[in-house]
Amino acid sequence: MEASSTTLGEAIGPPVAGYATLRVWAERILLAFLLLLFVVRGFIPAWRHLDSDFANYYLVARLYHEGYPVERVYEWTWFQRQKDHSGIDRPLVGFAPSTLTSALLVVPLSSLPPLVANRWWLAINLVLLALTGVFLKRITSLPWRRIGVLVFLAVAPLDKCFLTGQVHLVILLLVAIAAWLYFADRVFLSGIALGAAAALKIYPALFLLFFLVKKQWRAAAGLLCGMLGAVLASAGLFGVAACRIYFREILPWGLRGEITDPYDTGWDSLNALLRRLFLFEPELNPAPVAHLPHLFAVLHSLIHTLILTAFLGAMVSRDGSQSRRKLEWASYCFLLLLLSSEPLPYHFLILILTAVLVVDYLAARKKLTWAVAIVTVYALVCVPYDRLYRETPTGWASVFFFPRLSWMLVLAAMLLWLLLSDSGQTLGERVRSRSFAQAALAFAALFATSLVLNLRHMAGQFDNNRTRVTTSIGSGIAIDPVVTDDSIFYGALLPRFRATNDMYSVDRLHAGQITPFGGGGDWFHPAATADGRRSWAEVASANRSRIVRFEASADATGSAAVVTEAADAQQPAVSPDAKWLAYIREVRGRGSLWIRPVGDPQGESPSTPERELAGPEYDVRELAFSPDGQVFFSSWQTQQYRLYSVHSQSGTIAELTSARCSARYPALSPDGRWIAFSCERGGVWQLVAMNLRTAEQRQLTSADCNSITPAWTRDSKSLIYASDCGRALGITALSKIDVVR
């Protein structure tokens, strides 16, 4: 060990014993400081409390273990409800865009209490970090102390990974194992390891492009086999329907960087910066430089394609040495991170592998200055910038709020220079080579394809900005509207409740003013009589949901005017004559439909007992009353959604076969002529209105985004609905659209 260390010291520093000893001690002191920093900032706080990311994995693992339908884990409110029922002490959960297989890592811990499971996961992560160090040592000639310094210089990535309980240390270990196998010429197994990593997070699958460019056919075959095995395993464990929903309805949004707030400066990506500058969104980005979606599409395609082809072209080299292969592997890991649409600090763990391999490459060539520069920029990339992200910049000022991205671009230029300068070709030879022509053609093809896809996606994304019902700066979710004579009730996810564990409220929009109702749990799915005098909501808390009636004229949150109408019940709907209350009751996540008379205004229980209208075999998802007293509901049947009606008195159930699509979110017009619902088409949900007398259908929306939970205005001419267009998956705002003119 000491001999190896001395040799390396002579390689990158003056052969002076005193200087070498001083450098060794300086590195040891720095490593001790970084270790202490990690323990104080990352490990100890993570040990003391449960954070949302681990809670997400834990909750999915627990639901899977208990036999719940995991195809619903990507629905924000359903997932939040299950969190409340499980008693997980976190304000907010959300699983998109994680893969279902990523939750399998936590399944063995799902029978433990959440905090205990989190502590076991932290201990496992320490083992994973140590194993990663072992493989980094095996693929480099760096001494242990220098590997340790480079690992723990990733201050923010390591802190956030442990604080949030993320799975990215597993990814780092698998990619390090893949690198070790690749350098040992066991390239098929290297591909298999990357396929396993891709089952947890998608980006390792993009090594397929690297293998194709390098003409490593066996490695590409191994990666494809690993990915196929992961897909088959996922289908076998979670079901084909759940996998289909992920690949059709979730993955495209993740690849585009449209998960949660895509305009947040905390994403540290080119995608987020360009959105912040050139896309207007009334609530999430109200002050860009200008609203220029076509310019965004062009710049997004141009910049990403240019960076990709530049790096891949630079990796074509006459030098086939082992050190060159390490540089290329390190650069490609970096490239995947740079092009990522929504990287958070823990994603930057992969830079540990990049830094170690590049420093080892430079040490072998005795390039001390370059090594110091790379390490310095790497450290600046990994500095915590949390305080800066609390600000909300406007206009061109947004450019200065992406410091991590800025240093990533500097590091990109340095790595690209190393790849080109050490390729064994002069600039003239490279320009005249066939590979340069191939790179130019690839650039043109990729740019054209990317631009067409971007323009297609942007079409109609921002049309409903002009018809927003309400605008609240920084709003999260507005969903499930209910229209009364003078108000609109809706479910809301807003920052106002972030001081407590109750993140969701029911809001009332009246005369331009918003009044929130909440307390005692998360509030979902409002219902109200036509005159707005009586209103209901679902309140989810530990072990149960209940339907409460609350006084809508109140101007403050709280439980003083709350009366429980139905226990163990959710998603209320009230009949037009205000005599009946319908709701859903779940059995292991599968809904049954129930009905009961509306309770006395003074709080007395009705004499007529509740009745079940449709059992859990229908797996009822949403419901709505028609003016004649029938209940229409959506049902998850044979891997798609179907619409049914049931007579509230006779209990006769009939399928609405004229819907002709996977349909959910039914809403009946007050005049009884129309039914509105959402159809799944091409992986997104489009709003459709159908005339119940003629079966004529009108598709009201067509943009590449979701339009859901419609509610009719009192004149039966328009719909208020929730849409995530121009926003992010499931992060909906309320808009209005005309049906009858």
Domain contains 676: no
Least confident of 119-133, 351-365, 586-600, 665-679: 586-600
| Shared domain check, 479 and 449 | no
CA angle 453, 454, 458 (to 5 degrees): 120
Q: In terms of C-beta distances under 8 Å and separation of at least 24 residues, what long-range contacts does 33-40 make, across chains too?
A: 34/148, 34/149, 34/152, 34/153, 34/155, 35/148, 35/152, 37/152, 37/155, 38/152, 38/155, 38/158, 38/159, 38/162
pLDDT in tens, 299-313: 999 999 999 999 998
Taking alpha carbons only, the member of 357, 409, 400, 350 closest to residue 380 is: 409
Amino acid at 710: P
Does residue 14 sit in helix, strand or coil? coil
Residue 549 included in any domain = yes
Q: Give the 3-state secondary structure of residue 258.
A: coil
Name the band, by pLDDT with cuts 50, 70 and 90, for residue 702.
Answer: very high
Q: Is the pLDDT of residue 634 over 80?
A: yes
Query: Is the pLDDT higher at 741 or at 606?
Result: 741
Residue 17 lies in a domain: no
Give the distance between the most distant pair of CA atoms in the chain: 95
Same domain, 400 and 510: no
Q: Which residue has the higher pLDDT, 432 or 514?
A: 514
What is the predicted pLDDT for the residue at 429? 63
CA 564-567-570 angle, to 5 degrees, is 95
More confidently predicted of 8 and 568: 568
**What global pTM score does this model have?**
0.91
Q: Based on the domain organization, do 267 and 151 belong to the same domain?
A: yes
Please check whether residue 251 lies inside any domain of the structure: no
Give CA–CA dist 521/539, Å, rounded.
6
Q: Are residues 176 and 316 in the same domain?
A: yes
- Residue-number span of the structural domain to which 352 is assigned: 140-184+261-458
**Per-residue pLDDT at 370:** 94
Model pLDDT for residues 17-44, shown as the tens digit of each residue: 677 788 888 899 999 999 999 999 999 9
The pLDDT of residue 502: 66
The percentage of residues in the chain with a pLDDT greater than 90, rounded to a whole number, is 77
Give Cα separations from 337 to 268, 312, 333, 661 (angstroms).
Answer: 10, 14, 7, 38
Q: Looking at the structure, do residues 280 and 411 belong to the same domain, yes or no? A: yes
Between CA 243 and CA 245 the distance in angstroms is: 5
CA distance 608 to 333: 65
3 state SS of 218: helix
In a domain, 160, yes or no: yes
| Nearest residue to 71 (alpha-carbon basis) of 249, 259, 199 | 249
For residue 202, which of 74, 303, 354, 340 has the smallest C-alpha distance? 340
pLDDT tier, 520 (very low <50, low <70, confident <90, very high otherwise): confident
Alpha carbons 429 and 422: distance in angstroms, whole number: 13
Whether 498 has a pLDDT exceeding 70, the answer reads no
Task: Tell me which of 317-331, 399-413, 655-669, 707-721 is least confident.
Answer: 317-331
pLDDT score at 422: 78
The answer to the question of residue 3 being in a domain is no
Sequence-separated (6 or more) residues with CB below 8 Å from residue 559:
519, 520
Q: DSSP 3-state assignment of 478?
A: strand
In angstroms, the CA 590 to CA 59 distance is 17
State how far the Cα of 366 lies from the Cα of 419, in Å rounded to an integer. 16
In a domain, 737, yes or no: no
Q: Verify that 543 and 424 share a domain, yes or no.
A: no
Q: Give the residue among 462, 469, 547 at the shortest CA–CA distance from 507.
A: 469
Instruction: Determine, yes or no, domain membership for 538.
Output: yes
Distance CA 165, CA 196 (A): 20
Cβ pair 687, 701 in contact under 8 A: yes
Structure tokens belonging to residue 167: 């799975």
Contacts of 63 (CB under 8 A, 6+ apart): 70, 73, 82, 589
Roughly what angle, to the nearest 10 degrees, separates helices 155-164 and 52-65? 40
**Whether 484 and 442 share a structural domain:** no
Kindly tell me if the per-residue pLDDT of 158 is higher than 90.
yes
396-401: long-range pairs with CB below 8 Å, 24+: 396/277, 396/289, 398/265, 398/273, 398/276, 398/277, 398/288, 399/273, 399/277, 401/265
**Domain end position, chosen among 458, 489, 513:** 458
- pLDDT, tens digit, for every residue of 411-444? 999 999 999 887 666 666 666 667 778 888 989 9
Domains in the chain: how many in total? 2
> For position 430, what pLDDT does the model report?
64
Residue range 233-289, pLDDT digits in tens: 999 999 999 999 999 999 999 999 999 899 998 888 999 999 999 999 999 999 999
Torsion angle (degrees, nearest 10) of CA 441, 445, 446, 450: 160
Q: What is the helix (H) or strand (E) element at residue 632, kind and residue range?
A: strand 631-637
Residue 92 tokens read as: 């907010």
pLDDT of residue 396: 95
367 and 447 housed in the same domain: yes
Q: Single out the residue in 502, 537, 565 at which a domain terminates.
A: 565
Task: Clarify whether residues 446 and 479 are in a common domain.
Answer: no
Helices (H) and strands (E) in the chain, counts: 22, 23
Rounded average pLDDT over 606-620:
87
Model confidence at 607: pLDDT above 90: no
Is 60 exceeded by the pLDDT of residue 14?
Answer: no
Same-domain status, 411 and 516: no
| pLDDT at site 178 | 98
Torsion angle defined by CA atoms of residues 85, 86, 89 and 95, in that order, rounded to the nearest 10 degrees: -90
Mean pLDDT of 65-94: 92
Left if phi > 0, otherwise alpha if psi is -120 to 50, otherwise beta: which for 285? beta
The answer, yes or no, to whether residue 562 has pLDDT greater than 90, is: no
Of 210-224, 258-272, 388-402, 467-481, which gets the smallest average pLDDT? 388-402
Number of neighbouring beta carbons within 10 Å of residue 426: 10
Residues 171 and 291 in one domain: yes
Cα separation of 325 and 321, whole Å? 6
Mean pLDDT in the chain?
A: 90
For 457-483, write each residue's pLDDT tens digit: 999 999 999 999 988 877 789 999 999
- Kindly state whether residues 275 and 373 are assigned to the same domain: yes
Choose one of 565, 590, 613: the last residue of a domain.
565
